[in-house]
């Protein structure tokens, strides 16, 4: 978990910590590896080495920009890099491509840097969601499409008229969650830009698929890391 131990002790549970703890049932143990929650460069590589020791699989979660700065763009200590070569790693990240736009880091380069020192079968899993609809995520499949779960819906709207758009037409993403119809956040018009896809996804999963293209021009750069 790319966060600091003091984040777990804080009374204010951030969206970043909540997202990480949501993956806790998938792991046998939890290792918090940052010395400073706000400094991705403060990775305690000794803690990473302890997490790797004797394991065949590792799950690493971090916000996208933190995972890149802490791991993808970092030079791993030689002993850690060597230990990882025999470990299958699942990197899971969310909520942070906005901060990578200025660094011009593309998805292919992002994934390649993370997987460079890991065992075959390792993968990078990216999912999209908003803090207002905690529990609803839109994972990215191997074919580059994001999938909406059965209890959610995605509408793409023209930014000028707010009319819904058809497949492959770029517009503002509106996310709907039928699990929270009694709350005001069941429908959120984001400042993210995307497009719907027509037809079934080549991956074989059914349901609505879409792509996330970026942010509305001049939109405020913000995220839910500290919400």
Per-residue pLDDT of 4-27, as tens digits, reads: 888 877 777 677 777 777 777 888
Query: Class assignment of domain 136-227?
Result: mainly beta
Within a 10 A sphere around the Cβ of 9, how many other Cβ atoms?
A: 7
Within a 10 A sphere around the Cβ of 99, how many other Cβ atoms?
A: 18
Question: Nearest-CA neighbor of 161 among 169, 153, 150?
Answer: 169
Rounded to whole angstroms, how far apart are CA atoms 50 and 83? 10
Q: Cβ distance 210 to 175 under 8 Å?
A: no
- 129 pLDDT higher than 90: no
Tokens of 124: 């990078």
Within a 10 A sphere around the Cβ of 39, how many other Cβ atoms?
A: 13
Question: Nearest-CA neighbor of 208 among 154, 127, 162?
Answer: 154
pLDDT at 226: 40
Spans of all domains in the chain: 1-128, 136-227
- The DSSP letter of residue 34 is B
**Strand order, beta sheet including 123-128:** 57-63, 88-94, 123-128, 138-139
Question: Nearest-CA neighbor of 89 among 69, 113, 73, 108?
Answer: 113
- 216 pLDDT higher than 60: yes
Calculate the alpha carbon distances from 18 to 7, 24, 29, 31, 100 in Å. Answer: 10, 10, 17, 15, 22
Within a 10 A sphere around the Cβ of 143, how many other Cβ atoms?
A: 12
pLDDT, greater one: 82 or 136: 82
What would the pLDDT profile of 155-213 be if each residue is shown by its tens digit?
999 999 999 999 999 999 999 887 766 667 788 898 889 999 998 899 888 888 999 88
91 class by beta-carbon count within 10 Å (0-12 exposed, 13-18 middle, 19+ buried): buried
pLDDT at 56: 87
pLDDT at 37: 86
What would the pLDDT profile of 94-128 be if each residue is shown by its tens digit?
876 667 766 777 888 889 999 998 999 999 988 88
pLDDT at 222: 59
């Amino acid at each position: 978990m790319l966060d600091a131990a003091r984040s777990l002790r804080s009374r204010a549970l951030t969206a970043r910590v909540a997202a990480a703890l949501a993956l806790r049932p998938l792991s046998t143990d939890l290792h918090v590896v940052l010395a400073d929650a706000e400094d991705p460069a403060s990775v305690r590589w000794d803690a990473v080495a302890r997490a790797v020791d004797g394991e065949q699989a590792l799950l690493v979660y971090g916000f996208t920009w933190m995972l890149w700065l802490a791991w993808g763009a970092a030079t791993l200590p030689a002993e850690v890099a060597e230990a990882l070569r025999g470990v299958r790693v699942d990197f899971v990240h969310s909520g942070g491509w906005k901060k990578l736009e200025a660094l011009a880091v593309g998805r292919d380069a992002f994934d390649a840097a993370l997987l460079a020192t890991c065992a075959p079968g390792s993968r990078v899993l990216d999912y999209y969601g908003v803090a207002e609809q905690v529990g609803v995520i839109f994972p990215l499949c191997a074919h580059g499409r994001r999938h909406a779960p059965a209890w959610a819906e995605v509408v793409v709207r023209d930014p000028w008229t707010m009319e819904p758009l058809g497949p492959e037409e770029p517009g503002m993403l509106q996310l709907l969650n039928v699990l929270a119809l009694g709350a005001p956040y069941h429908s959120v018009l984001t400042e993210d830009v995307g497009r719907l896809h027509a037809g079934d996804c080549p991956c074989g999963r059914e349901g609505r698929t879409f792509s996330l293209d970026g942010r509305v021009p001049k939109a405020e750069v913000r995220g839910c890391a500290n919400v």
